[in-house]
């Protein structure tokens, strides 16, 4: 039995590659989308040979929002599952001093991902089926002094996915919000991350596959993050602004 095709946006990222392996191992044809897509030709051959599934490559730039409609039109088929792993994190102090860095963070974590999800949602709605998966962040659940530029962009994306899920609830289209917490990737390289709270990309990928299968709405990859963020959201503002977290 041929399974549904899966589109992976930001397929060059560590999470994107792990997701590609996870779904291919389950028998899904995979569409890999990223900038400089020719750099994924070795991955395409590896995934295709390893799991005996069709794999295609597609040039995609999340920040070139004017190309998103034509990008979707050019896909060999409209996927049944689309997973957006687009994201960029810059140090908070850099985004405070450099408007260019601030803009890249906002556009990479909100504008670009929301725009391509909206394009896909409209096509899925017309067809009446499909699953959209957006990888957001626990950083979006409360603004913190140490990363509020990144966190505010992710907060916007989380709210977008929530609204989109509500809109699509009766249209045959499901929307999943993924909140990974810390993940050991190139984006977090050099950070001192606590092992108990830090997932591997493969763990995120298997969590996404389960969430799609079970039609989950909001998923914390490690359940402890649900508790942590509940506590952080519950701290009164007059106390929170005196903390260094």
Q: Answer for the pair 26, 209: CB distance below 8 angstroms, yes or no.
A: yes
- Please name the residue ranges forming H helices in the chain: 14-25, 41-51, 68-74, 92-97, 99-106, 112-127, 148-168, 201-214, 224-234, 237-240
* 150 is a catalytic site residue: yes
Nearest to 201 by CA among 220, 218, 221, 217: 221
Catalytic residue from among 51, 148, 150, 220: 150
- Please name the residue ranges forming H helices in 52-196: 68-74, 92-97, 99-106, 112-127, 148-168
Nearest to 105 by CA among 91, 93, 117, 88: 88
| Residues belonging to the active site | 150
């Amino acid at each position: 039995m041929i399974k549904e095709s899966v589109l992976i946006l930001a397929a060059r990222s560590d999470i994107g590659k792990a997701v590609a392996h996870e779904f291919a191992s389950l028998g899904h044809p995979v569409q890999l989308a990223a900038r400089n897509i020719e750099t994924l030709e070795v991955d395409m051959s590896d995934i295709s040979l390893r799991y005996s599934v069709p794999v295609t490559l597609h040039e995609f730039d999340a920040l070139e929002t004017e190309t998103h409609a034509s990008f979707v039109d050019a896909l060999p088929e409209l996927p049944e599952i689309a997973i957006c792993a687009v994201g960029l994190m810059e140090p908070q102090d850099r985004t405070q001093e450099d408007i260019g860095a601030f803009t890249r963070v906002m556009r990479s974590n909100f504008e670009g991902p929301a725009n391509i999800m909206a394009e896909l949602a409209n096509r899925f709605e017309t067809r009446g089926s499909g699953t959209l998966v957006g990888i957001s962040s626990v950083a979006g659940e409360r603004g913190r002094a140490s990363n509020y530029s990144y966190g505010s962009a992710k907060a916007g994306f989380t709210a977008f996915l929530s609204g989109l899920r509500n809109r699509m609830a009766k249209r045959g289209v499901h929307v999943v919000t993924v909140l990974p917490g810390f993940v050991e990737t190139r984006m977090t390289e050099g950070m001192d991350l606590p092992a108990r709270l830090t997932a591997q990309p493969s763990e995120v990928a298997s969590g996404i596959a389960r969430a799609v299968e079970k039609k989950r709405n909001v998923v914390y990859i490690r359940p402890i993050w649900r508790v942590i963020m509940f506590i952080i959201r519950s701290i009164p503002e007059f106390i929170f602004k005196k903390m260094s977290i």
